[in-house]
Homo-oligomer: A and B are copies of this chain.
Amino acid sequence: MPNLNPEDFTCPLPIMDYETIQLAHGSGGRLSAELVSRFFLPRFGNETLNRLEDQAVVDFPQGRLALTTDSFVVDPLFFPGGDIGDLAINGTVNDVCMSGATPLYLAAAFILEEGLPMATLHRVLLSMEKAAKTAGVQIVTGDTKVVNRGCCDKLFITTTGLGRVPEGVNISAANLKIGDKIILSGTIADHGMAILTSREGLSFASRVQSDTAALNGLVAQMLQVSSAIHAMRDPTRGGLATTLNEFAAASQVGIMLDETTIPVRSEVRGACEVLGIDPMYVANEGKLVAVVPAEAADRVLAAMRSHPLGREAVIIGEVVADNPGLVAMRTALGAHRIVDMPVGEQLPRIC
């Protein structure tokens, strides 16, 4: 067979001259390859990802590994304070580091709707790039699927995170001990109310901003002063109330909160009142709640307050022997109320 010039066999058309996503971008063929090389690699490229194998092969030091996965389906894609891109990075980084682990690698899988503007995808990827850099994590592998128009809502992203848990750290919802202090890193309900007010087009929408942020730096600072953190979580869907109920149930202890200590921004509180929503049940995307032994509480609190994302950290309550499995709250008026798990859905598609 004679020698051939590969150029003779490549499509002469400017293949990427599309303004929107085509089904063929998910075909695994030449158009898929161009989407990856022109859109994804310039944003996320690194030695591992650039190999374009079907899997990333990376070094991992012996020990315990933390693995987490989350699909992001937020609507709208862009909202005050963030977008689906930084949410997908930060949300997964946070789920990794809530175990005390140092996040190392991410995987990202995209489901794109046929007809999605390339400009929209590009904007989301830029945001992911920035968030990954800020958090200090690499995207080492990924996947792209395209579904027909009307078969998904613009763009879904599933990110998976991998981290290494340091020795001596053992954080779990089942580890609460009576007498432990409950520390919240800052104001609640910012993310959920930013989504909701932007969706409803309310006039005060512009003042309510999502708190989306990667918390691994804050967690590292906390672990430096004490490895004795018993439990830790970012209270996303279902809000602070749901996370604390899960803690109380898993550890079979009671939790007593002091309502007056729980910080809520005034514009968020206003939006909650207008819409009749309890901020305790609204999603956060850049906050954590930690349960620590009383003797370590002041040390951990000081470490948190010295970090930009924990400046408003505060002790909001403690673990008690009464009413195991329940979360109770002393209200501003001095009465007690139960903070139950939510049953239904207040805010669909907030992450």
Which residues from chain A sit less than 8 Å from chain B, CB to CB? 1, 3-4, 6, 9, 11, 15, 22-24, 26-33, 51-73, 75, 95-96, 98-99, 101, 105, 107-111, 140-143, 145-148, 150-153, 156, 158, 160-162, 165, 172-174, 233-234, 236-238, 242, 246, 250, 256, 281, 283, 322-326, 328, 336, 338, 340-349, 351
Contact of A66 among B57, B160, B161 (CB under 8 A): B57
Q: Is the CB of B143 within 8 A of A71?
A: yes
Contact of A1 among B22, B69, B322, B341 (CB under 8 A): B322
Q: Hey, which chain B residues are within 8 Å of A158, CB to CB?
A: 69, 71, 109, 143, 158
Q: Hey, which chain B residues are within 8 Å of A95, CB to CB?
A: 54-55
Most chain B Cβ neighbours within 10 Å, of A27, A63, A142: A27
Q: Provided the pairs A340-B9, A344-B31, A348-B148 are in contact, do residues A110 and B71 lie with their beta carbons within 8 angstroms? A: yes
Q: Provided the pairs A328-B1, A344-B31 are in contact, do residues A55 and B60 lie with their beta carbons within 8 angstroms? A: no
Contact of A96 among B26, B55, B64 (CB under 8 A): B55
A32 vs B344: C-alpha distance in the bound complex, in angstroms?
Answer: 9
Q: Hey, which chain B residues are within 8 Å of A64, CB to CB?
A: 57-60
Contact of A30 among B30, B56, B165, B342 (CB under 8 A): B342
Contact of A33 among B30, B63, B145, B341 (CB under 8 A): B341
Q: Is the CB of A140 within 8 A of B67?
A: yes
Q: Hey, which chain B residues are within 8 Å of A174, CB to CB?
A: 51
A156 vs B281: C-alpha distance in the bound complex, in angstroms?
Answer: 27
Q: List 22 A-B contacts (CB under 8 A).
A: A1-B256, A1-B328, A6-B323, A6-B324, A15-B343, A27-B237, A27-B238, A28-B342, A29-B343, A52-B173, A54-B98, A56-B68, A58-B65, A65-B162, A68-B141, A69-B107, A71-B156, A109-B160, A111-B156, A147-B349, A151-B152, A152-B153
Q: Hey, which chain B residues are within 8 Å of A236, CB to CB?
A: 28
Supply 6 further A-B pairs (C-beta < 8 A) apart from A32-B237, A55-B96: A57-B99, A59-B64, A71-B111, A75-B147, A147-B349, A152-B152
CB proximity of A166 to chain B, nearest CB, Å: 11
